[in-house]
Amino acid sequence: MSNPIRIGVAGIYHETNSFAPGITEVEHFRDQWVEDAITFDKKYRGTRTSMGGTIDAAESNQAELVCGFVTYATPSGMVSAAAAEELMDHLIATLPTEVDGYVLFLHGAMVAENHDDMEDEIVRRIREKAGPDLPIAVTLDLHANISQSLANRSDIIVGYDTYPHVDMYERAVEATDLLCATIRGEIRPYTAWKHARMLVVPQTMITSHNPMKALLETAWRMEKLDGVLAVTVAGGFPYSDIPDAGMSFTVTTDGDEQLAERCLDELTQLAWSIREQFQFPEVTVEEAARWTREQTEGPIIWIEGSDNVGGGSPADATHVLRFLVQWNERSLIVIRDEEAARKAHELGVGAELSMAIGGKSDELHGDPVAVTGKIRLLSDGRFTHQGSYMTGKEEYMGKTAVLELEHMTILITEKRVPPFDVGHVRSAGIRPETYKVIVAKSAVAWRTSFGDIAKGEIFIDTPGCCSANLSHFQYKKIKRPIYPLEG
Ligand SMILES: [Zn+2]
């Protein structure tokens, strides 16, 4: 019996919105900082995360996992050059050695001031240390902006197939299984890449619906072909202004370059032929209000996609809040405001809080809005994911306060927390099903929180760094022409 396979794991994971206010520093990664096997196992075993998937797949392959540096930060603005260097230096310094291959947990849309394509730079540095031949499997988010260079450096690429993302576990199992098969000499993976020349907004990337469904079904049909190992449909992330931003595909075959190219041609042609379906209509707040009044049942989800917290926005945009405070339907909104959260904790439950909240990041996301309400509940902002998205993951919103106004409830949080799990409001004693309107600062991921109780949904057009209207943005680096900036 030969020695068991040894798999090194590492990852730096960030979705960078280069239009978002603020710079992302190393501090933003500290909450999710893992660099030893015991912490890695404790944090991720049994979870439906990529790391949980690799733990289980390693066991089923009788492989040994060797833990390197794994970290993550909530999507936000540009990563500073200093942070990028510190994170990569740490990853390389702690990179497991004497392993047979690596599984890397990367996003695909991480951008630093000094590197447009962070994933490519990370894999380049790993190759520099580990050599050109050691097999590397990379897991990527569906919103990855993949480049030719990253595909060249990676043996295996497996991206998520779902948005909202509920299959990171399965995709990491797939990547780890393929890596183990490579190490055992059963396959010789070859990964090819092609760009679709399209910029797509997250709102139209819901994978259970067309047009994404059509692309994924094509990918899954290809995965059944002899010699095809993995096909990734990457919707891309249009808020990273880098040369290769946008939709692209990777095909990993068992050493068959022509087969990979044929699959890529078919996928890019299909994407181009349905490009108009990726256009996304929205309405003004006033139109949304009129339509909502006509609905007899709630909750109606007001999707404030321009302040999509999961996409890197500040979570304190006030364009919708400003309307709701003077409206007379019962509504719920979550606003990040450190100052207000701390003040509420100083005042205590039952006290009145009167101050201007939100709108403190930049001009794009609106000005602070004056509110007066009663502090109904204070919490430490900790909860555990119970829904389908990363079930079991612990979340931390910082100091959290429930502010009750005459017609609305405002959940004030100290930190930016995307509405990925209904626990973010339920943990603060809020029953979301009792509201006529719930504002979701999200593009799509809110479905894992409120999808079960929503009686309707409407997309609101407001300014913000995740706006679905791409003509609002001044792209500087992206390769042109690209649809829909040019037809
Ligand atoms: Zn994503």
Name the nearest CA neighbour of 240 among 342, 184, 187, 311: 311
393 Cα: distance to centroid of ligand 1 (angstroms): 17
Mean pLDDT of 2-23: 93
What's the CA-to-centroid distance between 62 and ligand 1, angstroms?
A: 31
- The pLDDT tens digits for 314-334 are 999 999 999 999 999 999 999
Q: Once rounded to an integer, what is the mean pLDDT over residues 233-251? A: 97
pLDDT score of 170: 98
Q: What is the pLDDT of residues 19-42, one digit of tens each?
A: 999 999 999 999 899 999 999 999
CA distance to 18, 316, 361, per residue, from 367 (Å):
21, 9, 9
Protein residues within 5 Å, CB atom, of ion ligand 1: 141, 143
Given a cut of 60, whether residue 223 has pLDDT beyond it is yes
72 alpha carbon – ligand 1 mean position (Å): 13
Query: Which pLDDT score is estimated for 392?
Result: 80
Report residue 212 as tokens. 């994404």
pLDDT in tens, 120-135: 999 999 999 999 999 9
User: Where does the pLDDT of residue 2 fall: very low under 50, low under 70, confident under 90, or very high at 90 and above?
Assistant: low
Strand partners, 253: 190, 228
Angle between helices 168-183 and 50-60 (to 10 degrees): 40
Q: Where are the domains of the chain?
A: 6-278, 285-467
For the chain, give the mean pLDDT: 95
**pLDDT classification of 281: cutoffs 50, 70, 90:** confident
3-state secondary structure of 110: coil
Is the distance from CB of 368 to CB of 359 less than 8 angstroms?
yes
Distance in Å, CA 324 to ligand 1 centroid: 29
Q: Say how many Å lie between the CA of residue 192 and the centre of ligand 1.
A: 21
How much distance in Å is there from the Cα of 1 to the middle of ligand 1?
41
pLDDT on residue 148: 98
